[in-house]
Amino acid sequence: MWRKPHHDRPPRQFERVQFSRRVARVKLAVTAPDRLIVRTERVADPGDLISRLPHPTALAWVRHGEGIVGWGEAARLTLPGGEDRFAAADQWLRDLFGSADIHDPVQVPGSGPVAFGSFGFDPKSPDSVLIVPRWIVGRRDGAAWLTTIGEDADPLALVHPPQPPARLAWSDGTLSAPAWEQAVAAAVDRIRDGRLGKVVLARDLHAEAAEPIDARTLLRRLADRFPACYTFSCAGLVGATPELLIRRAGEHLDSLVLAGTTARGTTPADDAERATRLRASAKDREEHAYAAEMVRDALTPLCAELTVPDQPELLTLANVMHLASPVHGRLRRERSVLDVVAALHPTPAVAGTPTDTALDLIRELELMDRGRYAGPVGWVDARGDGEWGIALRCAELDGTRARLFAGCGIVADSDPAAELAEAQTKFRVMQYALEG
């Protein structure tokens, strides 16, 4: 159970020993002081949160102008692969935040110390990371705050303004478009043979700029173009995901299941026709049903109350439309948001069903490590509250290079050419972020 941090409480050695024994086998890479000194204060409305970021290595979780942004590093945890990576991360944060000296008069989700995180999609991927920033600026429901961890400084001083990527060069990722269509066809054959019901296949695309790519430029463009999405940045992974995996605020949980997609129309009439076809599409409704049922099954043991709609609704974004099911629940007992993330990931919306069979087929046909694409991304605070999405519509930045990702749900009726067109539509989000 997450405990409320106490002021001036020394670290509890018994808890540290338990933590060490529990996660020693996963060889965590930790950078952290012995004790965090955390001070949160109410501030006047900070205005646009993204514009407050002074460094290209930004941390962010923003939707409709609200959320949190951070920079600097008070602590970092890098996790190798493993089925217990969520439990290891959760226990590390309990230990770190539980021994911290915290002054937080704001007491809302996201105030006080926060860890931004993104996890590898595959349990075998060694890419999961949690970062506790030194400075956090947040705004939620009319409240605004600044959190400082460690030595004080001028946290809002701009080091240098963001610059747009220049002279981008594009190249294929692991598979060319024709090779990826062949992978989709092979997946359809496996599904029709009865080996699985659905698999989500992803492909990547590479871009290289003349100068290092500034995450703040991408965040600005994404937040302006897709305000209804969760615009995020963590350890070089930048994107705008429409999919809320889970939100925990006290005992209350919210999730948004998305599966089944079509591109927006070119005219209002075309848009309406595409929406009608999506609602009536047996292929897309089947894909959505797999995802919604899995979320129901995963959350039911954790919740005293759970509401999942019988029929999906339509979520309309700037570039695509999705079949969507909003889910609401009340926890049966106190659990961290990371406990719930562990129960949900990976959903059929990003892997397939049955999960283990789908993961094996993804490894066979994609011929790449997705890294943190399609893994959980978000934040968690000292109360165990947090918001986590699925890292979709994103790119992984590494200096001058960007690696973009897009994935499609494959079922028995999938057409490889249509799936390729859908993936190309999904790429356009991050192509826009890079090119403007």
337-344 vs 282-299: helix axis angle to the nearest 10? 140
pLDDT at 269 over 60: yes
Interval 339-357 mean pLDDT: 92
Burial class (CB in 10 A: 0-12, 13-18, 19+), 304: exposed
Cα→Cα distances 217→96, 138, 165, Å: 32, 19, 8
Question: Who's near 308: CB < 8 A, 6+ residues apart?
Answer: 292, 295, 296, 325, 327
Q: Which residues are catalytic?
A: 198, 243
Look at residue 154 in the predicted model and tell me its pLDDT: 53
Using the 8-state DSSP alphabet, how is residue 68 labeled? E
Cβ(340)–Cβ(366) under 8 Å? no
Are 214 and 399 a contacting pair, CB within 8 Å? no
- Which domains, ranges and CATH numbers included, belong to the chain? 13-435 (3.60.120.10)
Position with higher pLDDT, 345 vs 4: 345
- Strand spans (E) along 119-241: 128-132, 135-140, 143-149, 169-172, 198-208, 230-234, 237-241
**Mean pLDDT over the full length of the chain:** 89
105 three-state secondary structure: coil
* 392 and 427 Cβ atoms separated by less than 8 Å: no
pLDDT surpasses 50 at 354: yes
Task: Please list, in sequence order, all residues whose beta carbon lies within 8 angstroms of the beta carbon of residue 318, skipping any fewer than 6 positions away.
Answer: 225, 226, 264
pLDDT tens digits for 172-203?
A: 999 999 999 999 999 999 999 999 999 999 99
Entry pTM? 0.89
Q: Please give the pLDDT value at position 24.
A: 37
